[in-house]
């Protein structure tokens, strides 16, 4: 195939991927975490104070990255969800543009291979995230790919424009700052460069200086703009979130088992034969992201997403480079693509309860639960009022554990006592401030993330104000593990919706 034909096919393929993604994802619900960020960021934009009026354990960069999506939606006259999809596709286009510049001049990359790699990168950024489209790990993939290509050039000793390298450093720093764990990826690849070049001076390259500058500026910005994050949220995250939220050892291992096998397989194939710099940086990035998955040790599927993407890219490149279209490398790439594609569209995890709520057609709803996927994305999809500063009652597993210790006569520190009071008072404050029309209580005997039985209503009832507030509600019905309470008087006034 001629170079012009390759370019035409590649560009047409990328355009088709982008258009199909926008059409399909606009018709489907967006991921529950992304939906919460859209909702909370809109509240922040309208004047709510982040980490006071909006209680979120993660640093503010996730909100800052969501804000442009709201502006895009507003400018184009589309929904916040559509704005988010367009914003992510714009970032993917920017990443592909930088990648196109970096692929030029790469050894062993002919004209046809150049366009094939670009098409593969588009698939990796846009399609492989599956139903985790818009998660922070998806943003990392988008921002990290050009940086990996730059490091491949460094390993091949290919001269790179210093200004371009600096821009790549600024670009990737945004993705790395989303989570501190992400810095393990450049650290591992820099170690390889250090061993090969045997010079500490190479660490002071333009891209590394840009990463250091952005990281320092981001830390200072948090202190100046959102001091509550370090004062309030960080202690809560360390003590009340991280130890309680996860799927356990077995599920954590199971959700990564195929990726572990794929990374090991590609690693063995690389060890037994030659591997180019491009394949090596993708493989090391996959290994680093797998390590990060186990450092976080939550077992959430989206945490392993970058490892899937980078391992698939490493396998695909090795297959192409060795001309082994029917080889083991191709099989690994196909398996990883299928693993991502099996959950391409987002599905509600408890569809029965969602259908029950929609049948009621409430103006506002509150769900007493520890799962974000119960209220979101339903709240944003159906434009419901959500009378809570929390995406879910995520402080209560910790609060319940500390109250249990108190009942057993065990000592708890002042931080625990203050957190229990804070979790209860803020929940009741929100309910009184904007009484929801419908309240749903999670009555499951084994509630996720709780160490034992827990009664939400009994917990709230220890606040003297709750009894008077709750007197306006009657039990409408019970459906399985869910109790539906309806407000007896006039419908509540809903919050402004994103």
- Shared domain check, 107 and 176: yes
- Shared domain check, 280 and 391: no
Distance of CA 235 to the CA centre of its chain: 21
pLDDT > 80? residue 145: yes
C-beta of residue 373 within 8 angstroms of C-beta of residue 448: no
Report yes or no on 219 lying in a domain.
yes
pLDDT tens by residue, 189-245: 999 988 887 778 888 999 999 999 999 999 999 999 999 999 999 999 999 999 999
- Shared domain check, 303 and 159: yes
pLDDT tens by residue, 421-478: 999 999 999 999 999 999 999 999 999 999 999 999 999 999 999 999 999 999 989 9
- Shared domain check, 243 and 372: no
Mean pLDDT of 300-315: 95
- Shared domain check, 230 and 153: yes
- Shared domain check, 406 and 326: no
Question: What is the Rg, in whole angstroms, of the alpha carbon atoms belonging to the chain?
Answer: 24
Quote the domain boundaries for residue 417.
351-487
Residues with Cβ within 8 Å of residue 361, at least 6 apart in sequence = none
Among 281, 315, 341, give the residue marking a domain's end.
341
β-pair type (438-442, 482-487):
antiparallel
- Shared domain check, 233 and 98: yes
pLDDT tens by residue, 347-359: 998 898 899 999 9
Among 341, 367, 402, give the residue marking a domain's end.
341
- Shared domain check, 28 and 162: yes
Give the model's confidence band at 276: pLDDT under 50 very low, under 70 low, under 90 confident, else very high: confident
Report yes or no on 302 lying in a domain.
yes
Report yes or no on 374 lying in a domain.
yes
Give the model's confidence band at 275: pLDDT under 50 very low, under 70 low, under 90 confident, else very high: confident
Report yes or no on 16 lying in a domain.
yes
Of 284, 293, 271, 351, nearest in space to 313 by CA: 284
- Shared domain check, 187 and 45: yes
pLDDT tens by residue, 57-87: 999 999 999 999 999 999 999 999 999 999 9
Name the domain count of the chain: 2
Mean pLDDT of 46-56: 96
- Shared domain check, 392 and 275: no
- Its pTM stands at 0.94
- Shared domain check, 355 and 336: no
pLDDT tens by residue, 230-241: 999 999 999 999
- Shared domain check, 325 and 203: yes
């Amino acid at each position: 195939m001629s170079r012009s034909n390759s370019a035409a096919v590649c560009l047409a393929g990328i355009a088709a991927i982008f258009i199909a993604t926008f059409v399909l994802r606009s018709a489907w619900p967006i991921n529950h975490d992304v939906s919460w960020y859209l909702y909370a960021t809109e509240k922040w934009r309208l004047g709510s104070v982040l980490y006071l009026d909006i209680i979120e354990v993660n640093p503010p960069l996730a909100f800052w990255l969501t804000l442009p999506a709201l502006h895009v939606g507003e400018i184009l006259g589309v929904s916040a969800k559509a704005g988010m999809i367009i914003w992510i596709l714009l970032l993917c286009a920017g990443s592909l543009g930088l990648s196109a510049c970096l692929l030029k001049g790469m050894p062993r990359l002919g004209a046809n291979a150049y366009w094939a790699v670009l098409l593969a990168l588009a698939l990796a950024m846009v399609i492989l995230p599956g139903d985790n489209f818009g998660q922070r790990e998806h943003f990392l993939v988008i921002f990290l790919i050009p940086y990996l290509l730059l490091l491949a050039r460094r390993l091949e000793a290919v001269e790179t424009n210093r200004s371009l390298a600096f821009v790549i450093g600024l670009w990737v720093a945004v993705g790395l700052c989303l989570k501190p764990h992400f810095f393990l990826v450049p650290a591992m690849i820099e170690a390889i460069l250090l061993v090969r070049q045997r010079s500490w001076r190479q660490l002071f390259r333009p891209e590394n200086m840009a990463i250091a500058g952005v990281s320092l500026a981001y830390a200072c910005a948090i202190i100046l703009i959102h001091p509550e994050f370090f004062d309030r949220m960080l202690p809560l995250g360390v003590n009340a979130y991280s130890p309680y939220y996860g799927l356990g050892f077995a599920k954590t291992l199971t959700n990564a088992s195929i990726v572990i096998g794929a990374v090991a397989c590609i690693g063995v194939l690389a060890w037994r034969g030659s591997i180019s710099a491009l394949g090596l940086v993708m493989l090391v990035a996959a290994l680093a992201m797998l390590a990060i998955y186990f450092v976080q040790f939550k077992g959430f599927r989206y945490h392993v997403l970058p490892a899937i993407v980078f391992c698939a890219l490493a396998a695909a490149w090795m297959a192409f480079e060795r001309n082994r279209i029917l080889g083991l490398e191709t099989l690994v790439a196909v398996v990883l693509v299928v693993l991502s594609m099996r959950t391409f569209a987002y599905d509600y995890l408890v569809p029965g309860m969602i259908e029950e709520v929609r049948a009621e057609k409430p103006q506002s709803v509150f769900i007493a639960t520890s799962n974000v996927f119960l209220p979101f994305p339903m709240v944003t999809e159906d434009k419901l009022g959500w009378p809570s500063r929390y995406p879910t009652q995520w402080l209560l597993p910790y609060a319940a554990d500390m109250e249990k210790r108190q009942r057993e006569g065990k000592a708890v520190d002042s931080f625990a006592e203050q957190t229990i009071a804070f979790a209860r008072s803020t929940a009741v404050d929100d309910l009184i401030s904007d009484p929801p029309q419908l309240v749903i209580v999670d009555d499951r005997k084994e509630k996720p993330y709780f160490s034992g039985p827990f009664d939400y209503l009994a917990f709230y009832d220890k606040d003297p104000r709750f009894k008077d507030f709750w007197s306006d509600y009657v039990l409408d019905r019970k459906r399985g593990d869910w109790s539906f309470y309806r407000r007896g008087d006039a419908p509540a006034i809903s919050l402004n919706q994103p």
